[in-house]
Structure 1
Amino acid sequence: MISLDYFLVPAGLFVLGIYHIWLFITVLHNPIRTVIGLNAYTREQWVFSLMTDPLKNGVLIVQTLRNNIMASTLLSTAAITLCSVIVVFVSSESSFDSTVSVNSVYYNYTPSLSSIKYLCIMLCFLVAFLCNIQSTRYYAHVSFLGTVPTWKDKTGFIDYVAATLNRGYYFWALGLRAFYLSVPLFLWVFGPIPMFVSCCVMAVVLYFLDTTSIFAQLVHSHLNEEEAKTDDVEAISQSLSNSGRENFQLRDPLLTRSG
């Protein structure tokens, strides 16, 4: 049975690792195909639309960020609570082989496979706790930065606020991935076969959760085309108005002379 642990457990982690490497490359090169990239673009547009008038939309910004902070706080609390429970459980079941001699007492401790399993689960929850804490930190920064009225119509500052908001979401997503990874590690307690099967099933499920549908990609591309057309129309109308104003200034003296 230990030989299966040595083979199936690394194989299951390898499957999840390969999937997340593919997801990372896809987010970098084709973000519209993934939910992470599409949501990041949507958050940028949300920040730009609300920061055009921070005095009017400040309450909406703070309320939305408060909901995100509450979600991160809930996950971080659950993670540190589960870590404490695992520590108490492992410490109560740990056994030491002691050898008493004449002068001193020696404690020979050999960690068992079950202790290694619980340690891996605890590390997952610790990573989830730290990531959610960082997510709360970035959301708290955005709650101040997004309501500054002097940053109105300043694209560089608004880009910084949008990037800070996306960093908070990325840390929240990493914490959620740590929770997902804890499920196969929990099933590892019942054997390496359930752990390997759960890793394969989770990779398939995460693929459908992380990728966008063709309809969403078409809607996004259509919105980009409409936005480009709107910008072109505004530029053309502005150039026509400027040329019309120049023509009126040229014709006006002739009209006054003929009159």
Structure 2
Amino acid sequence: MIKDIEKKNIVAVQSIRNMIMGSTLMANTSILLCCGLGAMISSTYSVKKPLNDSILGAQGELIVALKFATLFTIFLFSFLFHSLSVRFMSQLSILICTPQDTMSLVTQEYLSDLMGKATILNIVGNRVFHTGLPLLLWIFGPVMAFLCSIAMLLVLHKLDFVSRKENTIKVGRDEESGTT
């Protein structure tokens, strides 16, 4: 995109805008969950009996406080990573359309570094957020958290890795149509 910026600058900025919107949505969701946890803490704190006594959960105020503090911390870190990702992508979307000059301080390496940092922060933010989801069910007991963790592992494994069988089928179709 950088080499042929005159023809592809709109595509570059729109792609970065879409990444900004995704990171903003995840950051808003993370901070919303933090607010919900805070509201839950303030409403159940005065109750003598912890929330999860009846569903195979640990009993005691210390364990309940540990659960809420852990979840709150996880979602705050997810918010932080997504916010930093939005910051880098916003800077990138402004700088990518600057004219490329040999004397310019904005080089292709600098833009590539910004894109790499933004992408890594987005990935880490997503992983932290998705780690927090099974732990959110930890409030209701260990069985729900365990089942959600297993389901999350299976879904993320399916999304992250392409099996050899699917890969060979796709390559075979591409060879038949003459495309690569």
TM-score (norm 1): 0.53
Superposition deviation, residue 196 in structure 1:
2.4
Verify: 1:88 aligned to 2:39, yes or no.
Answer: yes
SS at match of 1:149: coil
More helix by share: 1
Describe how 1:28-39 pairs up with structure 2 within 5 A: none
- Listed as ranges, the gaps of 5+ residues in structure 2 are 49-59, 172-180
Superposed, 1:23-102 pairs within 5 Å as 50-95=1-46
1:220-235 superposed matches below 5 A: none
Post-superposition offset of 1:199: 2.2
Runs of 4+ in 1 over 3 A off after TM superposition: none
The one-letter amino acid of 2:143's match is: I
Structure 1 unaligned residues grouped into runs of 5+: 1-49, 98-109, 220-259
Cα distance between partner residues in 2 of 1:161 and 1:212: 30
Q: CA deviation at 1:87?
A: 0.9
The structure with the larger Rg is: 1
Structure 1 position 111, deviation (Å): 4.0
What's the Cα RMSD here? 2.9
1:227-247 Cα offsets, whole Å, 9 max, x none, are xxxxxxxxxxxxxxxxxxxxx
What is the CA distance between 1:186 and its match in structure 2?
1.8
Question: Counterpart of 2:56?
Answer: none
Q: Which residue of 1 aligns with 2:177?
A: none
Q: CA deviation at 1:96?
A: 9.4
Task: Say if 2:79 is the partner of 1:129.
Answer: yes
Partners of 2:133 and 2:100 lie apart in 1 by: 47
Identity of aligned residues (%): 30
Deviations 1:24-81 (A, max 9, x none): xxxxxxxxxxxxxxxxxxxxxxxxxx11122332222212211111111111112112
In structure 2, distance between residues paired with 1:211 and 1:202: 14
* Pairing 1:211–2:156 present: no
Q: Summarize the alignment of residues 58-207 of structure 1 with structure 2, pairs less than 5 Å apart.
A: 58-95=9-46, 111-151=61-101, 157-207=107-157
Report the Cα distance in structure 1 between the residues aligned to 2:12 and 2:44, rounded to whole angstroms: 48
* Distance in 2 (alpha carbons) for counterparts of 1:79 and 1:195: 18
Q: Distance in 2 between matches of 1:87 and 1:117?
A: 12
**What letter corresponds to residue 149 of structure 1 in structure 2?**
P
Shift of 1:129: 0.5
- 1:151 is displaced (CA, Å) by 4.6
Aligned length: 156
Per-residue CA deviation, residues 125-155 of structure 1 (Å, 9 max, x unaligned), is 1111001001101101211232122258x9x
2:55 is matched with none
* Structure-1 separation of matches of 2:37 and 2:14: 35
Mapped to 2, the partners of 1:90 and 1:190 lie a distance apart of 14
The one-letter amino acid of 2:15's match is T
